Chains A and B, each alone.
Chain A
Amino acid sequence: MKLTLNIWRQTDANDAGAMHTYQVDDVSPDMSFLEMLDVLNEDLNAKDEEPIAFDSDCREGICGMCSLMINGEPHGPEVTTTCQLHMRSFKDGDTITIEPWRASAFPVLKDLCVDRSAFDRIIQAGGYISVNTGSAPEAHSVPVPRDDAMRAFNVATCIGCGACVAACPNGSASLFMGAKITHLGELPQGQPERDSRVTNMVAQHDHEGFGGCTNIGECAAACPKEIPLDVISQLNKDLRTAIKHGH
């Protein structure tokens, strides 16, 4: 198939950037979206035009490195990551608009690459259980009800891609944060730090310049790992509890 691509190009963080239009022919439906861009890049390289920078690593939907706003939807029209999106989701003759994640807390580095280190700092603020290596008790000393373990697992599958932020009209990272709060809060091991964890992570979130959540729900619809909105409720509840406990 043949496609028209409108792609955001920006040389570096200080450049204003603009949309450029490219044509690609010979796109096979079995290609992944990123392979389609690889082909375009080979073409550009041959024409002495610098290839388009975009992030990816695992290309199997688990590392969270790939991004891209595709026709107004983070990771495109399917519930998956951009690297796992295949061209069979598009039709011959389509025009596709490709933009970087837009959020002040995710500054654009170049073309379609953004800096998501704000997520790391949210985790630094408290997204962990404090246990030094070697000081752990025997794994079977604390049984965890299977349902709790399942819920913890389901939300721990967040890949930190940032699609939730990209989708949210408020530029909020609540879904990402809620997923971590719920993962750790669901386990007995996570209880001692529960109040301070939520307080610190939320403060860091706000400090990074993410917006406040107004429960719009576009984040969950964009999340490739289908993290549900309940995690945001859990986050709110945990914060409320923290306030009650004087944090």
Chain B
Amino acid sequence: MTDMPDTTLTPDPSHVAEGHPSSDDAAGYYTPGTPLTDTKAPGGPIADRWQTRKFEARLVNPANRRKLDVIIVGTGLAGASAAATMGEAGYNVKSFCYQDSPRRAHSIAAQGGINAAKNYKEDGDSAHRLFYDTVKGGDYRSRESNVYRLAEVSVNIIDQCVAQGVPFAREYGGLLDNRSFGGVQVSRTFYARGQTGQQLLIGAYQALERQVAAGTVETFTRHEMLELIVVDDGDGPRARGIIVRDMVTGEIETHLADVVVLASGGYGNVFFLSTNAMGCNVTAAWRAHRKGAYMANPCYTQIHPTCIPVTGSHQSKLTLMSESLRNDGRIWVPKKKEDCDKDPRSIAEEDRDYFLERIYPSFGNLVPRDIASRAAKYMCDEGRGVGPEVDGVRRGVYLDFQDAIARLGKEGVEEKYDNLLDMYERITGENPYEVPMRIYPAVHYVMGGLWVDYDLQSTIPGLFVTGEANFSDHGANRLGASALMQGLADGYFVLPHTIRDYLADAPFEKIPEDHPAVVEAKQAVTERIEHFLTVNGTRSVDSYHRELGNIMWEYCGMERTEDGLKKAIDLIRSLKDDFYRNVKVLGTADSLNQSLEKAGRVADFFELGELMCIDALNRRESCGGHFRAESQTEDGEALRHDDQFAYVAAWEFAGEKPVLHKEELTYTAIEMKQRSYK
């Protein structure tokens, strides 16, 4: 090995050749459908659209609100904020979550911060700049009007949270502090040390509990939504309720309402190992998908570069180290393979390859997540990874704080990042103040989700979707600190306005519990449960989940190829068959049964995984979090094809062969550019 690898990145040459695949790889896997349009966003100048829509959306008389039932599945930032706000407005809200308390939704785990265009630093920020950065960060695959609205309401979020008592970091003068996050050139990220998500969620949770006390919201904890009830009462289908399982008693309950909101979070757990919580699932969204809600861009997955590497096959989840660490930490691997198992402190400065700084001199360690992740993967694939070998490869790169410690002092670093470095030490048993941390990319967030229009309504009337569960605002890649912003924007400021236009027609006809649609939905749930408990096979649910996750990570992870995706689809299909015939779920239906809960979730992950691969196969371009090896520039950078793929892929459920509906993306307020971070 020479001193310095002469490649910048190392694309596999067999794929580079064409650069622009033209055949339709996915042809045999789906049926083309009719185009789809968002009919709700008003026209006119982008900055006025939200005001217009708010004005045009019809109102619901306060006296009527009491008579309207709203179901909200999920108590994360998106769900809790919506439930609290709808409760305050006087609707009858029922709020569901699978954890034992609304406060435990996975939003709690977000570390880094939340963006808002407050421009408190007077560094040139504005709603328009936040909008611009978000669209660009999403690689021009998000819907312009939604993103603009998100940027616009971001400022209200901060006011709201501060009033609720969220203890954001402050400066000595008592005013709010900001930091720059994820390579953005302005400081617009508000934070509460490394626990921003926790503090924001606790704020929303408290607002929610306040409404519970006021009698407007009723919470159903340890209740899992297993089916959506769609009723056609003459003028087309409407979402009218859900079937849930009380996870303690096993009782299958029916909850009916005038409108259903899904705020059920992301499905990154399809990869088995991810930074998501153990219970994160796609079931709520998938059940809705099967009932007619389109699933948009399911393959868009964000892989986060700074996670703690895997230690062995017992691993149950991966832990994220906040991206903010990249502000001060420097990422490197040894230049020489033979150094890889040495104590990093003994490797001389000139033998270290600070590869991000080398390849991307202007952004350095702060390049977007997908770029940083892929670069790390290449280094490890090349044999220059560090840390323990798992399955023959060292999957890890160093994240080194020595320079930062020299510059800020140990105390300075401690104050800025304290619990993050402690967390690292707790998990790995290594002290990051002395030995560089090791990191590796892991699945973190999904940009894909249920398709919604400007009103956040899905293709099923009366089914609204908010937060990570919808696809709307991040395009093919999400900026750091923008998911929290989106969850709270949706829940506090968007949904409560748009949903009233729908509810202005309510109350809808009362549905009896023995309505055929209800009975059918309930029966489907019972039968599924029955099935899992009676297969009596030989393999545990977890073992299937792990295997599915491996397939997804291998073939639908950081880099995707036509062959790989096709292979994955076959593998998933046969594994799924085996699952239904050979899974072993002990225990009973009428008690707390965690294997049974998992079985239902994994069953849905199988179907989702397959659709993700089909979506990835169809998208023969590289964009954002989706890197098709066949579509890259000569020096290995992602290559987008705006002429062919500037659309949202919205999939309609139709069994084996889903139907693809395309929503064309047009930009009036921003010009499409190839991303470059060199």
Contact = CB atoms under 8 A, between A and B. Distances in A.
Contacts of B209: 120, 123-124, 127-128
Contact of A55 (B84, B100, B173): B100
Interface stretch (B161-169, B330-338, B468-476): B161-169
Nearest to B587: A50
Contact of A133 (B167, B213, B496): B496
B109 interface: yes
B311 A63 contact: no
A65 B167 contact: no
Interface in B659-674: none
A152 B106 contact: no
B193 interface: yes
A117 interface: yes
Contacts of A12: 591-592
Contacts of B77: none
A124 B206 CA distance: 8
A137 to B, nearest CB: 7
Interface in A22-64: 28-32, 34-36, 38-39, 42, 45-46, 48-51, 53, 55-64
A119 B199 CA distance: 17
Interface in B193-215: 193, 195, 198-199, 202, 205-207, 209-210, 212-213
A127 B206 contact: yes
Interface in B96-127: 99-104, 106, 108-109, 118, 120
A149 B429 CA distance: 32
A53 B594 contact: yes
A11 B587 CA distance: 10
B210 A110 contact: no
Nearest to B585: A45
Contacts of B493: 133-134
A152 B162 CA distance: 12
Interface string A140-160: 101111100100110011011
A9 interface: no
Interface residues of B, number: 79
A57 B427 contact: no
A242 interface: no
Interface string B71-111: 00000000001001100100000000001111110101100
Interface residues of A, number: 78
B84 A133 contact: yes
Interface in B561-600: 584, 586-587, 591-595
A232 B439 CA distance: 40
Contacts of B540: 42, 45-46
Contact of A42 (B99, B277, B543, B594): B543
Contacts of A55: 100
A140 B205 CA distance: 23
A9 to B, nearest CB: 12
B515 interface: no
Contacts of B171: 146
A139 interface: yes
Contact of A51 (B100, B163, B206, B586): B586
A149 B161 CA distance: 14
A56 B100 CA distance: 10
B195 A144 contact: no
B165 A61 contact: no
B594 A131 contact: no
Interface of A: 11-12, 28-32, 34-36, 38-39, 42, 45-46, 48-51, 53, 55-65, 78, 80, 84, 86, 88, 109-110, 113, 115-117, 119-120, 123-125, 127-140, 142-146, 149, 152-153, 156-157, 159-160, 183-184, 187, 189-190
24 contacts: A30-B429, A34-B316, A42-B540, A55-B100, A56-B278, A58-B106, A59-B319, A63-B109, A84-B426, A116-B101, A117-B101, A120-B102, A125-B213, A127-B206, A129-B165, A131-B207, A133-B85, A133-B492, A136-B162, A139-B176, A146-B172, A157-B198, A184-B165, A187-B165
